[in-house]
Amino acid sequence: MNHPKTNPRNDRVKRDYLIWLKDAKQRSDATVDQARHAIDRLENYTGYKDFGTFNKEQARAFKQSLLNTTAKRSGKPISISTIYHILQAIKEFLAWLHGRQEYINRIILANIDYLSLTLGQERQAHVTGPKRYATLDEYRKALFAMPTATDIERRDQAIVAMLLLTCMRDAAVVTLKLKHIDIAHKSVFQDPRQVKTKFSKTIETIFIPIVGDDVEAIVRNWVELLITEKGFAPDDPLFPKTINGQDENYNFIPVGLSREHWTNATPVRKIFRTTFERVGLPYFNPHSIRNTLTHLAYQLKLNGEQLKALSQNIGHNSPLTTLNSYGKLPIERQSEIIRSLGQKPTGVAPDDAMAAMIAEKVAAKLRI
């Protein structure tokens, strides 16, 4: 028996949920897409039955079907991490659905729990490999090996330099306008009304000097080129997208710069991939610059106030967020520090500001 490929009632409620995720919960487009795909999986499994028919038998069977699913390309079981995120997305959707008047008596909250993995499986789902990031020297090597013969090449180099100077998110960088950068004060104002910041935060970012004056010069020269040679105005993009044309063989090739923003950060990641491949290094995504700078902060032995400034510069409310997200030590450094604990103390007192900050955070946790 053939199942229908759609259910109008499901479609309506699913559309409402995805709009709620995006507009009310301020989830990213990527998160909304992941939720859509997860819900589609459940619908496809049930033969597009009404969501209101959800029960514990359906939950258990669907979970088991995921655990038995193999990837089309590799023929291997899909990862436990993928399964975990699919189930979490569906659990959130069903919990939201339970809150709607027409489903409150049809979907039982306790049945949603049957979509949970075992504690052991959840631990496996959260296991990640060592975080790979380039050193500052490797970033500089890649940056200064970039060609700069054309406007497009100079733009690409300025993008990498800008990310190294600011640790901004690539999605924010591609939405920057010329007016958002202040070369004289060496700063960038990430205005959430126009710049795509995480959670629509307002972030004032200062250029990080430890990456080098020559890195800053690349950005400064790029801004000067846009204003004096290209006649760009304050509301024009800081990093305009490429104009493509055709060569004599009717192949599309880059021919110049437009006055429009890129629609997403995919081109930036392509630039990074090419940049590192050129010097024989593996691909490091733009976001990994935050790991690089956080570990550089360890080496510089920044005090509490300096760590707070760095964290705030990135857009975090707390230095602990920065350290937890980007400061995990490589096992080699962890081993070195632990072994050094058996050595004679150096007599260096802990930083008072850092100690106070940690104490404040611990106290806040205890109050919860």
End position of a domain, from candidates 103, 125, 147: 125
Note whether residue 2 is domain-resident: no
Residues 262 and 197 reside in one and the same domain = yes
- Report CA torsion sign: 163, 164, 169, 172: negative
pLDDT computed for residue 357 by the predictor: 60
Q: What share of the chain is helix, strand, coil (3-state, %, to 5)?
A: 55, 5, 35
Measured CA distances, 335 to 215, 339, 342 (Å): 33, 6, 12
The boundaries of the domain holding residue 46 are 8-125
Up-side HSE of residue 235: CA atoms within 13 Å toward CB?
Answer: 1
Q: By the 8 A CB rule, do 197 and 172 touch?
A: yes
Residues 280 and 156 reside in one and the same domain = yes
Per cent of the chain over pLDDT 90 is: 67
Residues 109 and 251 reside in one and the same domain = no
User: What is the rounded average pLDDT of the residues 322-349?
Assistant: 73
Is 356 or 97 the better-scoring residue by pLDDT? 97
Residues 345 and 251 reside in one and the same domain = yes
Is 367 or 303 the better-scoring residue by pLDDT? 303
Q: What is the mean pLDDT of the chain?
A: 89
Note whether residue 1 is domain-resident: no
243-300 residue pLDDT tens: 888 777 777 778 889 999 999 999 999 999 999 999 999 999 999 999 999 888 888 8
Q: How many domains does the chain fold into?
A: 2
Residue 47 confidence (pLDDT) above 90: yes
* Nearest of 90, 112, 114 to residue 34 by alpha carbon: 90
CATH number at residue 347: 1.10.443.10
* Nearest of 204, 173, 145 to residue 285 by alpha carbon: 173
Residue 350 confidence (pLDDT) above 70: no
Phi, psi (5° rounding) for residue 198?
Answer: -70, 130
Residues 221 and 359 reside in one and the same domain = yes
Note whether residue 13 is domain-resident: yes
The residue with tokens 């979509």 is: 115
Q: By the 8 A CB rule, do 205 and 166 touch?
A: yes
pLDDT computed for residue 349 by the predictor: 52
Residues 146 and 84 reside in one and the same domain = no
Residues 141 and 117 reside in one and the same domain = no
End position of a domain, from candidates 81, 107, 125: 125
64-110 residue pLDDT tens: 999 999 988 888 899 999 999 999 999 999 999 999 999 999 999 99
Residues 143 and 289 reside in one and the same domain = yes
Whole-prediction pTM: 0.72
Q: Long-range CB contacts (< 8 A, 24+ apart) of 124-129? A: 124/80, 124/81, 125/79, 125/80, 125/81, 125/83, 125/84, 125/85, 126/81, 126/84, 127/81
pLDDT computed for residue 200 by the predictor: 87
20 secondary structure, DSSP code: I
Note whether residue 328 is domain-resident: yes
SS3 77: strand
Residues 136 and 120 reside in one and the same domain = no
Residues 272 and 143 reside in one and the same domain = yes
User: What is the rounded average pLDDT of the residues 320-339?
Assistant: 80
End position of a domain, from candidates 110, 125, 140: 125
Residues 202 and 345 reside in one and the same domain = yes
Note whether residue 300 is domain-resident: yes
**What whole-number distance in Å separates Cα of residue 311 and Cα of residue 304?**
10
pLDDT computed for residue 157 by the predictor: 98
Residues 66 and 145 reside in one and the same domain = no
Is 335 or 66 the better-scoring residue by pLDDT? 66
Note whether residue 84 is domain-resident: yes
SS3 23: helix
297-320 residue pLDDT tens: 888 888 888 889 999 999 988 888
**What confidence tier does 368 reach under pLDDT thresholds 50, 70, 90?**
very low
Note whether residue 3 is domain-resident: no
Note whether residue 139 is domain-resident: yes
User: What is the rounded average pLDDT of the residues 145-174?
Assistant: 96
* Nearest of 39, 2, 45 to residue 21 by alpha carbon: 39
Residue 130 confidence (pLDDT) above 70: no
Phi, psi (5° rounding) for residue 181?
Answer: -105, 135
Measured CA distances, 279 to 143, 322, 362 (Å): 10, 29, 45
